[in-house]
A and B are shown apart, each in its own frame.
Chain A
Amino acid sequence: MKSNWVVLFVLLAGAGVLRADSVTAAPPENQSNDGTCEYLFAQCLQEAFNRSLENDRACVKAWCDKVFFFTFCDEEGLSNCSEKAEAVHAAHVRACQRAFADCMGMEVR
């Protein structure tokens, strides 16, 4: 059951990554010199970060239980889930960079 939730969460997070381009892909025109691209980049990174925190929390909720003052985790499950969450974060950061490059009129080969 937990695994299903984790898969669902990873998929949702992945979908979020796909949406990441749309967050910053359309900067205002002719603003690459006034810091707008940097601002959008920072905004995108912040969204990626916030989502990663949520994903991290979701992993803990999926693989750990709290009993009184103690936390019991399925370490392997938590480790795998955290790795996936970090991969999602990396993908999101990449998307932010791509959007930033687009905004700056760069073509990354």
Chain B
Amino acid sequence: MARWLVALLLACFGGLWVWLAVTSFSPSPAMPLLGETVGIWGEPVKAASPTQVGPLTRTEGRSTQFPPKVIVTAKSPGAEVWLDWENKVAKFFSRQGVRVFHPENWEKEGGLLPDGLDFLPLSLPSVAEVVTHCHSWSLSAFVAVAGWRGCPGWDDWADKLHSVHPEKEFVALGVFRGALGNSGRLDLNQLYRFPVDYQFIGGRGQACRPGWVRSLALQVLGHSSGSADVIGSTRLLATLCVADDFEENSWLQGKLSRAMLDAEPWDFGAHPGLMLGLGTWGGEDASAYLEDLRAKPNYFGQSMVMAWCSHLLGSASEQSPAYEIVKDLSPQDRARSAANTMAALDAFKKTGGKDFPLLDLLVHKTLNENDHSVKAFVMVHQLLVMGVEPALGVYLAEELAFQNPDFTPYLGMAAANLRGRSSPQENRLFLQSLGQLEKQYQGIPQSLADIRSARMILHADG
């Protein structure tokens, strides 16, 4: 009798458990926590005491010399190339919403190109890797990719692109529509941040039009002839569009070589393109060069370089186990997103701030509106206020504000971080973004107030 009673009780308990699990809640299996000290269910997330907080972190040691002096050592030893930073490079990139960095200690480091490197052919399929791997510089890559629509392999690339950046293909083709204009001629001045309501041009199954792509690419190349008014990566990637006859076309070869030489070191968009060529065709020399580059201490664009080196060389010596864990987090995992974000940034700090692929992944996830596994407010706070990576924090705050008016309060934090730095150009870029945001959020008083507040904070004399 007692045995039956026990069995009945167990059955009731089991039934109740199943009923609770099935009818009351949507099951969401718990993901493993990244850190032992951080967790929602266990030990509370450790929040720093207000008394332990210092002044807002500022990045020290930025070069204040503009325009930067670039010494190209490979092809023309000793040559000095002076670029008009403000009007050409920074303006072009800021229109794309990309923060522009400039190198520290460039003169001490010397040129980026290895001696004796004279020919760097690139391959088309690898550009898909470029697009799917980097997020903030890839506008010019999109020009190349958009031209491949309908070409063999396009669907595979599109699937990959879409899985990593659902919003990017959308934007890329918007660029095309806007940049082409009525004349059908590519107007680089129209390459700027596009609103999210841009539509796809055509769809899958569109005819492959290599001639059309080549024509556009040549316009890009032609636009930049003789002067550095278009960033190197644009030229590099546009050149990729015409790579099918690259080997027969000495003019293009010269253009590419020139673009390589002019690849501005602060243009982190140029690095992946440069490395793509090196990694694909450069053999042992390229590997040695990449290793050498990776070993150099702090320089701007380092995060992209590191991410790219890891990708190309397949040796992510700086990569922490957290990368794989973060990569596997479910986009719908809201329950532990704050804890996981804290833990992931903690893991990043424990690598001495060198696990750039992890940081890159976290930024990707933060900017992906369909991914809730990373908390934006945690990212912004840790990067900006706690000083994990202030420059990236400013960029992230801007990007989030462009995505959603709910994020405009973070602009004030970014402004406070920028304030007092001796880089008027950097501040000017931020102000340009604020201007764009002001136009975008006309009619949303709260966001407008945030933007104006950020501007005031940046300008405050202190």
Contacts and interface: CB of A to CB of B under 8 A. Distances in A.
Contacts of B20: 65, 67, 72
Across the A-B interface, the 7 shortest Cβ-Cβ residue pairs: A72-B25, A50-B47, A97-B412, A71-B30, A93-B409, A38-B55, A46-B53
B77 interface: no
Contact of B456 (A42, A47, A96, A108): A108
B449 interface: yes
A96 B24 CA distance: 40
A66 B338 contact: no
B28 A101 contact: no
B457 A56 contact: no
Contacts of A97: 409, 412, 450, 453-454, 457
A46 B385 contact: yes
Nearest to B446: A94
Interface residues of B, number: 50
Contacts of B412: 93-94, 96-97, 100
A42 B462 CA distance: 15
Interface string B429-449: 000000000000000001001
B369 to A, nearest CB: 13
A108 B25 contact: no
| Size bin of chain A's contact surface | 35 or more
Interface string B15-57: 0010011001111111000000000110011011010011110
A60 B40 contact: yes
Nearest to B376: A86
Given A78-B335, A86-B377, A93-B413, 17 more contacts: A32-B462, A43-B53, A49-B47, A49-B381, A49-B385, A52-B338, A64-B25, A65-B25, A66-B41, A72-B21, A90-B406, A90-B409, A97-B409, A97-B454, A104-B457, A104-B462, A106-B456
A28 interface: no
Contacts of B332: 75
Nearest to A37: B462
B462 to A, nearest CB: 6
Nearest to B454: A97
A109 B416 contact: no
Contact of A75 (B28, B416, B462): B28
A82 B453 contact: no
Given A35-B55, A56-B375, A70 B30 contact: yes
A89 to B, nearest CB: 5
Given A42-B385, A49-B381, A64-B335, A108 B449 contact: yes
A36 to B, nearest CB: 9
Nearest to B459: A106
A53 B457 CA distance: 26
B29 A71 contact: yes
